[in-house]
Amino acid sequence: MNLAGQLRPIVAALAVWAATALAAQAEQANDYPTSARAEYVYGCMKANGESRQAIEQCSCSIDVVASIVSYERYVTAETALSMSQVRGNLGVQFRTSEQANSAVNDLRRAQAEAEVRCF
C-alpha cells in the first residue's frame, strides 16, 4: 500500500473528529433560547438607538456573549443584576454573593469583548 492509501483512513478520521468538534461548538454557541437573544437585542437597541445598524451591532453582541458565557452562567448573572437592585436584605445577599459577583463579572467581560468586536 502506498503512502496516500495509508493516509486516507487517518484523514477521514480527522475529518470526522473536526466535524464533531465544530458541531459541539455550534451547539454550545446556540444554547441561548431565541427569547433570551431577542430580549438582549431589544435592550441593547434601546441603549444604542433603534436603527438598522443597532440591530446588526446588537445581534453581533449577543452572538459574542453567547460564544463566551454559557446560557446558565448568563441567567445567573442577569438574575444577580436584577436582584441586586432590590432594597433590603434580599438585595444585599445578591450584591455580596461571591458566586453572583463572579457570574456578573464574566458577563461584563463578555460584553466588553462584544463591544470591541461589534461596535
What are the pLDDT digits (tens) for 55-95? 999 999 999 999 999 999 999 999 999 999 999 888 888 88
Reply yes or no on whether the pLDDT at 17 is more than 90. Answer: no
Residues 46 and 3 in one domain: no
Reply yes or no on whether the pLDDT at 49 is more than 90. Answer: yes
Residues 13 and 68 in one domain: no
Residues 13 and 38 in one domain: no
Residues 19 and 46 in one domain: no
Composition of the chain by helix, strand, coil, percent to 5: 85, 0, 15
Tell me if 60 sits within 8 A of 113, measured CB to CB. Answer: no
What's the pTM? 0.73
Residues 50 and 79 in one domain: yes
- Note the pLDDT of residue 8: 61
Distance separating alpha carbons of residues 112 and 119, to the nearest angstrom? 10
Domain span at 67:
31-118
Residues 26 and 42 in one domain: no
Total of domains in the chain? 2
Residues 76 and 49 in one domain: yes
Residues 46 and 83 in one domain: yes
Residues 70 and 95 in one domain: yes
Residues 19 and 41 in one domain: no
Residues 91 and 66 in one domain: yes
